[in-house]
């Protein structure tokens, strides 16, 4: 994915890097709308913002809130743990409805992508450099979401370098990456990895595959794309 094709969209806390076969996707107004819907709901129900656990209530409101609520319950995390992946997913769906066959939306490390040709998507951690996923062409959306206790501003109770979850819905992958990263914990890297893999096993019906890095260790679960070195590719993430 080439840097000179990337469009940056920055709206308050939302920081998107977009690659698309649609020349003028005009996502800014859509992002403002769904952010407004979310902020309006949070004003009415502040617990939606602060809770670190799913909320035991039926949500019948805007689409972004419904998706976040559903994903938080699947991943057993607070709704805001799913916000970045949800925005990526919703934006990608907008582009697909406009006819896109090749679009990637990365929002704070959480990616929603559809690709009708081969692509390489890089994975970043503090200790393991220059690796990525080689994605085969596909006609359906894919979520690739990463959580870390060492990188970014998200709350994590684990000690992983990174947990990347891959599946059909970026919103669910975002929540599960947080959930599993929280469980990557132990007195040693080996124990932390084992606990993380055991946690991922509990949720495997909701995603295709995952990759966990702890220290110098790498663990996988399920079916993941081919892992390649990114040194030979001009990629941005």
Interval 61-97: pLDDT, tens: 899 999 999 999 999 999 999 999 999 999 999 999 9
On whether the CB atoms of residues 135 and 115 are closer than 8 A, the answer is yes
Match 């040194």 to its residue by tokens: 231
Helix axes 83-97, 63-75, angle to 10 degrees: 130
**pTM (whole model) above 0.85:** yes
2 pLDDT above the threshold of 80 = no
Looking at residues 33-61, what average pLDDT do you find? 91
Q: Which residues pair with 106 in a beta bridge?
A: 17, 111
- Parallel, antiparallel or unpaired: strands 217-222 and 7-11: unpaired
Least confident of 1-5, 9-13, 146-150: 1-5
Which stretches within 60-188 are classed as H helix? 63-75, 83-97, 170-183
pLDDT at 26: 85
Looking at residues 42-60, what average pLDDT do you find? 89
pLDDT at 237: 40
pLDDT at 236: 42
On whether the CB atoms of residues 19 and 1 are closer than 8 A, the answer is yes
pLDDT band, residue 56 (cuts 50/70/90): confident
pLDDT at 129: 66
User: Residue 71: what are its φ and ψ, rounded to 5°?
Assistant: -65, -35
pLDDT digits (tens, 9 = 90+) for 125-152: 555 667 789 999 999 999 999 987 655 4
């Amino acid at each position: 994915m080439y840097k000179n094709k990337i469009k940056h969209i920055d709206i308050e806390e939302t920081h998107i890097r977009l690659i698309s076969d649609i020349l003028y996707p005009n996502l800014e107004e859509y992002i403002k709308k769904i952010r407004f819907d979310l902020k309006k709901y949070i004003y009415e129900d502040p617990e939606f913002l602060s809770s670190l656990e799913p909320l035991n209530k039926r949500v019948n409101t805007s689409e972004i809130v419904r998706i976040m609520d559903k994903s938080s319950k699947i991943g057993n995390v607070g709704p805001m743990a799913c916000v970045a992946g949800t925005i990526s997913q919703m934006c990608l769906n907008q582009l697909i409805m406009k006819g896109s066959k090749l679009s990637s939306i990365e929002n704070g490390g959480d990616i929603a992508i559809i690709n009708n040709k081969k692509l390489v998507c890089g994975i970043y951690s503090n200790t393991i450099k220059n690796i990525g996923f080689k994605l085969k062409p596909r006609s359906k959306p894919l979520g690739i979401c990463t959580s870390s206790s060492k990188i970014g501003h998200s709350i994590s109770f684990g000690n992983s370098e990174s947990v990347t979850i891959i599946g059909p819905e970026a919103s669910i992958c975002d929540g599960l990456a947080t959930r599993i990263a929280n469980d990557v914990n132990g007195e040693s890297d080996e124990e932390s990895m084992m606990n993380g893999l055991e946690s991922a096993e509990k949720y495997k019906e909701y995603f295709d595959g995952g990759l966990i890095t702890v220290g110098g260790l790498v663990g996988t679960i399920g079916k993941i794309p081919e892992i390649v070195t990114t040194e030979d590719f001009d990629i941005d993430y």
